[in-house]
Amino acid sequence: MSPPLTGSFRGQIHRIVERHRRELLRMERAAASEMVRAYGEIWKRLVVEIERLVAEYREVGEPGLSWAFELDRLQQLQRQVEAELRRFAAFAEAQIVAGQRDAVEAAAAHLGEILMATARTGVGVSWKRLPVEAVADLVGFTRSGSPLRTLLDELGPEASKAVRDGLIQGLALGHNPRKVARAIRGKMGGNLVRALRIARTEQLRSYREATR
């Protein structure tokens, strides 16, 4: 018969679990910081083109919205947006896969620590490391054709539409370049929020599945 778990032991387990939770939070924040930085670099390049296009429109005396479509002006900007977001999606994919692997490794280490602490009480436990194929299954959800990869691939068209709508609205209202750019940035912000949510969800899912 196993000995009863004491209050001291339960307190020890609680402290271990809390430390593990803080480690996961640090991992999540580090990944989020990298994605925010990458998205910020994309915006720096896009805002130059957005403000330039609006400035040109105002310089020629605001000739009407058809001007934005002439000489492929708006289409070129949209193509640039989609190209930038494809690069961001590739970066986000790599970050998410790395986060999944880190979460799986953390789950293995955390559970091993808890089981070792339990063993010291005299309770019989056994522990084997996760097999390589199981780890591969847990982190393989961003491959082409997967639901996650589909979500990431949707970021480009959505951002392109946000730029198109924001630019047309800004030109129609006669806003200055900076005001138009700020409005578009607000519309595009949802893409970053979505990418961060995907990354967090996948990291936690991988941790839970590895622990299970």
The per-residue pLDDT for range 50-59, each reduced to its tens digit, is 999 999 999 9
Q: Dig out the tokens for 100 from the structure.
A: 């999944």
Portion of the chain with pLDDT greater than 90, in percent? 38
Residues 74-78: contacts with CB within 8 Å, 24+ apart? 74/164, 74/167, 74/168, 77/49, 77/50, 77/53, 77/163, 77/167, 78/160, 78/163, 78/164
User: Has residue 1 got a pLDDT over 50?
Assistant: no
| Predicted local distance difference test score (pLDDT) of residue 106 | 85
The pLDDT tens digits of the residues spanning 119-133 come to: 666 555 555 565 645
The pLDDT tens digits of the residues spanning 88-117 come to: 988 988 888 888 888 888 887 887 777 777
pTM of the model: 0.79
The pLDDT tens digits of the residues spanning 24-35 come to: 889 889 889 999
